[in-house]
A and B are shown apart, each in its own frame.
Chain A
Amino acid sequence: NAGVTQTPKFRVLKTGQSMTLLCAQDMNHEYMYWYRQDPGMGLRLIHYSVGEGTTAKGEVPDGYNVSRLKKQNFLLGLESAAPSQTSVYFCASRHRDRSFRDTEAFFGQGTRLTVV
């Protein structure tokens, strides 16, 4: 079972460069999320999507854009990378469960991004 797959796993960017992180899930989940993880700050939500073609801002959306053209994919873009965006990025997905029971998130392996 692949679950949630993130590519790439590591990347080094120069300030001002752009890149796209890809998240793919094979569990037919409706909801997908992008988080960044920084020491002492836990996981902070960047953007999320509740279905194909929809996106919404999370806690720290500035400097990032997202797209969800297909249900299984959720892309995170950095148009002009800054050193403050050095972080570990995690994608997650979960079911839209009407009974509010099976709502745990499944995470990818993470992308370690360094902006120099």
Chain B
Amino acid sequence: AQSVSQHNHHVILSEAASLELGCNYSYGGTVNLFWYVQYPGQHLQLLLKYFSGDPLVKGIKGFEAEFIKSKFSFNLRKPSVQWSDTAEYFCAALSRAGGFKTIFGAGTRLFVKA
């Protein structure tokens, strides 16, 4: 079955530290990949997406992600986190082979200490 795995469930960082959240997917073939963010008490919002072309994708708020096809990975990065980045982050995947369903990882809770 198709799945999305996120490596870390909880991450605690100090402000200005660098962030990398891991994501692996099990789809074959053409795949769309996404990172969503959920701030406390809010709904999910799109951070960035990959569908083709340049494997390094830049999103909002200084986030970026790199698609590495050979590793089935789509890791999220930010060079210097802020307290306002405290949120839960979800990796998601959508493939032609998987039909019309977007599948989400379990999420990573990030807490940034001021």
Which residues on A are within 8 Å of B, measured CB to CB? 31, 33, 35, 40-45, 48, 50, 58, 90, 92, 94, 96, 100-101, 103-105, 107-110
A-B pairs with CB below 8 Å: how many? 59
Residue from B46, B49, B101 in contact with A45 in the complex, judged by beta carbons closer than 8 Å: B101
Give a binary string over B34-64; 1 marks a CB under 8 Å from any A CB, 0 the rest.
Answer: 1010000011111001011000000000000
In the bound complex, do residue A104 and residue B49 qualify as a contact, i.e. CB atoms below 8 Å apart? yes
With an 8 Å Cβ cutoff, the count of chain B residues facing the other chain is 26
Given contacts A100-B51, A101-B52, 18 further A-B contacts (CB under 8 A): A42-B6, A42-B104, A42-B106, A42-B107, A43-B44, A43-B107, A44-B104, A45-B102, A92-B102, A100-B96, A101-B51, A103-B49, A103-B51, A104-B49, A105-B46, A107-B44, A109-B43, A110-B43
In the bound complex, do residue A107 and residue B43 qualify as a contact, i.e. CB atoms below 8 Å apart? yes
Report A94 CB to chain B, min CB distance, Å.
8
In the bound complex, do residue A33 and residue B43 qualify as a contact, i.e. CB atoms below 8 Å apart? no
Report B114 CB to chain A, min CB distance, Å.
25
Could you pull out 21 A-B pairs where Cβ atoms are within 8 angstroms? A31-B100, A33-B101, A33-B102, A40-B107, A43-B104, A45-B101, A48-B101, A94-B102, A100-B30, A100-B96, A101-B51, A103-B32, A103-B49, A103-B94, A104-B46, A105-B44, A105-B92, A107-B36, A108-B43, A109-B43, A110-B43
Which residues on B are within 8 Å of A, measured CB to CB? 6, 9, 30, 32, 34, 36, 42-46, 49, 51-52, 90, 92, 94, 96, 100-107
